[in-house]
Every structure is written in structure tokens, then in C-alpha cells.
Amino acid sequence: MTLFAEYDDYDAAGLAELVAKGDVSPDELLDCALARVDVQNGDLNAVVNMQVKVARQMIKDGLPDGVFRGVPFLLKDLSTAAIDFPSHNGSRLLANTTYSYDDTLYSRLAATGLVTFGRTTSPEGGVGPVTEAAVYGGPTRNPWDLSRTPGGSSGGAGAAVSAGILPAAHGSDGGGSVRIPAASCGLFGFKATRARLPYGPEAGEGWAGMAIDGFLTHTVRDTAILHDATAGPEIGAPYCAPPMAEGFAQSLKHPPRKLKIAFATTSLDGTAIDPDCAATVTATAKLLADMGHEVVEALPSADVGAMMHSWTTIVACGTALWIRNAVKARGTPLLDDEIEPVARGAIILSERMDGADYLEAVGKIHAYGRQMAQFFVDYDILLTSTLAEPPAKIGRYRHQSEDFLNYRVGPGGVFEYSPFTAAFNATGQPAASLPLGWSKDGLPIGAHLAGRFGEDDVLMSLCAAIEQAQPWAGKRPKRFGLNLG
């Protein structure tokens, strides 16, 4: 079989342009993606629940004439319902879940002409900055260094895109789950303003409104086009995002206005971070100043510690709820080996609380959003590192502890490793991770930019301008051998 040798040279939009011109067929592009799965997935453990016959039938039946017609695509193996794509949802308890409907997000993606052929790995319940769920038989690994995590919870998506299996993949983000893999895998990851993308029809929100879908890509334009294709309110949604001045892709056509940008080379509470991560922030701040923006070192005064404890309370309750619903739906008791220790710990923590405790946590999240909004009265953008250090070693944050609170916010816990991203799930603001730095060991480091609530287009425009000033898409991990002849 002869493969399209230039597959790696194009982003999703570029591949779609080739299909539209007749230079390559959807079947040929799917062959390229599948060949890369065959060669790389044994090491990465990133792609699961493949439905190749479904993908071939999509092509045979005639794909929608959309912006990504013929481009291979993967859904995250968590939450997103699609009739043709069973899911494990990162858990042995939910293994081989099937769906009777397509959710709104997948319906909008399908309308673009994407050729979905499977799913990508996720940690159980979407909890944690790594992807090492027991249901997949082993950890998902980082293409840059197989001893490192690709992040979580969209870790499989990050690994698959970074490795070149496909140019873009679906993810979701409730505490950094798009931006953490983007930083870990040298990719672009964008979290839109709360409710910018649909969450239904089965649910109106996730984790008290902190969760939202997103995408892992090499280029800003792919992310922008994917957001244009999927954004917008849906019938019955409890709330929607404020309108933007212009669409995502339109915002790429010009640089943003001169912005006032705050930056911090520490965590949000002033704690020191890894020197390579701090250096990435400093270099990015200089780049932004050279681009003509006003750049000032400043930290918001919002109580990030209280926010993270409240985030942990809400996620513990959300974890306990999906487990309870799954057990109730099948009508038999939960078995000892069906969920991992961290999920058990979430149940234990939730059982110590009552409804008033949960509502208090939601109230503290809302208060944090108001505190952070006050900071953004004076600043358009906040620049930090995405993570406090380069990608962690495999096993460090494996779901092996039943102390859910300590796993998240205890010494050496997730919050120390990822002290930035969840802040903007709590506030609902748009935020992005850009692959602008490298550790001394050659590992990717993300620079994190957060914008004002609702100003997704401003942030996306700035990301595109940075990409033009300091391109990153050509830097890829070493490929495993492929027969392209």
C-alpha cells in the first residue's frame, strides 16, 4: 500500500483543501492515520475503540460537504455520546458503553465532514493530569519521551496528535484537560468561555459549569475552525456564552489591538515553579513586548487555594454521581475492581458532605470568578506557565490513592503540578496553552494565556499572532518507521 507521504506536512484544514481539490481521497487519508496507529499505538496506547468499518462506510455513503471533509478524526473516550462509537469512558465500570443518540457536539463535528474512526484514552472520570486508566491495560505515553505522561485528561488525544497519527482530535477540559496535554505534547490547546460549546442534550453542564469540550491541534487555525463549526447555544441549555465581536477564524485575519498583558513567573499564589517553565514565561513576555503589547509583571489577588479546595469538592461529588448512576442503571452492586482508588476516594469525600457543603463550594467558585474578573478590569491577558514543571514521569499521579483531597491539593499533589489551568475553569474565562518552551531535557513546555470572559476572539487572535511570530508546528517528536513507498 502506498501512503500519502506528505500527510505530516498539513494541518486538518490543509488536508481538507487537498481533498476538495481531488489531490488525495478521504480513504487515502484514513489509510495514513491507520498506518500510524499500527506502527505507534503499541508504544503510546492512545487510540482505542476503533471503528474502521464505520469510518469506511461514512466515506462510501458520501461525506457532508463541510470544512473538514475527508480528514481523519478521533473522539475522546469520555462523555461524548455517538451512536457509532462505543466508549469505555476511562473506566472498567463503564467499559463498552453504547449510545442511542449523537450528542450536539458530535453532530456538529460530523457535519464538517470529519471521518471519525475511534476514540482516545482518558483517565477514569476525567480526573487528573495523566492518562493511566486501568481499563486500557497500561498508561498512555508521551511521544516526546515514552517515560513521561502526555497529560490528562485528554492525554490520548494529545499523544495521538503529537505523534502525527492525525492533525487534530477532540478533547474536553474541566480543570485543564485540553491545556495540560497541549503543554505536555507540544501542541496548541484552547479552552473557550463557559458554554461557548454545547454540552447536551443529556446534560446542561459538567462539574458546576467548569467543564467544556475542546480540541488538540498543531495549528491555531485548526482550533479556530473547529470552534466556529461547533460553537453556539443549543435548545434547552441552562446558559450560553456572550456573543463575540467576530468569529474564531475571522479573528485570525488580523492582529489584536495593543493589549495590556500581566505575567507571572510563579504560580498564582507566588510559589516558585520549575526554572525552565519560568524561563518560558519570561521569554514569552519579551516576545509579546516586542510585538507591541504593554507587558507588566503582576499577580491577581484572588484566593486560589480556596478555589482549588472548592473545585475538588465539586469534582468529588461529580465523580460519586456518575458512579452511582452507572451502578443504579445496571441494577447490580459495585464490584471491588470496577473503579480505581482515586474514584473510591472521591466517593468517600463526597459522603462526608451534605447539600449545603456542595452549594458552599459552588459559591466559593463563583466568588473566585468575581475576584479574578476584577483583576481583568485592568488587564486584557494574564500570562503564566501552563504547568509548574515539565511533563511528569509515568506513574507519579496514577490513581492509586483513596485520599482524594490529598491527591488533588496535598503536598506533592496535582495542584502543585498544575496550579494554573483549573483557575479558568472556575472563572469560565477563555484560556490557551501554546508550545513556546522546551526543558533542558528537550520536553515541551506550554505558555498559558487567559483572556477576559467572553473575549475568545481576542485571545484567539493573539495566539495566531504569536504563532506567526514564533512558529511551532514544524517541531515534532521523532517518528517511528513508516513505509511510505
- First CA to last CA distance, the chain: 8
- Annotated active-site residue 153? The verdict is yes
Q: Give, in order, the Cα–Cα distances in Å from 336 to each of 331, 333, 343.
A: 16, 10, 12
Given the residues 122, 153, 154, 172, select the one marked as catalytic. Answer: 153
Q: Can you say whether the dihedral through the CA atoms of 30, 33, 35, 37 is positive or negative?
A: negative
Tell me if 190 sits within 8 A of 432, measured CB to CB. yes
383 bridge partner residues: 263, 449
- Name which of 188, 192, 187, 122 is nearest 458 in CA terms: 192
Please give the Cα distance from 213 to 391 (Å, whole number).
22
Please give the Cα distance from 249 to 289 (Å, whole number).
24
- Annotated active-site residue 385? The verdict is no
Q: Would you call 259 helix, strand, or coil by DSSP? A: coil
Given the residues 79, 87, 154, 177, select the one marked as catalytic. Answer: 177
**Is residue 375 classed exposed, middle or buried when 0-12, 13-18 and 19+ CB atoms within 10 A define those classes?**
middle
Tell how strand 381-385 and strand 260-263 pair up. Answer: parallel
Tell me if 92 sits within 8 A of 135, measured CB to CB. yes
- Annotated active-site residue 21? The verdict is no
Q: According to the 3-state scheme, what is the secondary structure of 339-392?
A: CCHHHHHHHHHHHCCCHHHHHHHHHHHHHHHHHHHHHHHHCCEEEEECCCCCCC
Tell me if 108 sits within 8 A of 226, measured CB to CB. no
Give the DSSP letter string of 76-97: ESSS---TT--B-TTSSTTTTB
Please give the Cα distance from 416 to 399 (Å, whole number).
16
- CB contact set of 156 (below 8 Å; sequence gap of 6+): 45, 46, 47, 48, 74, 76, 77, 119, 120, 121, 122, 131, 140, 150
Q: Give catalytic residue positions.
A: 76, 153, 177
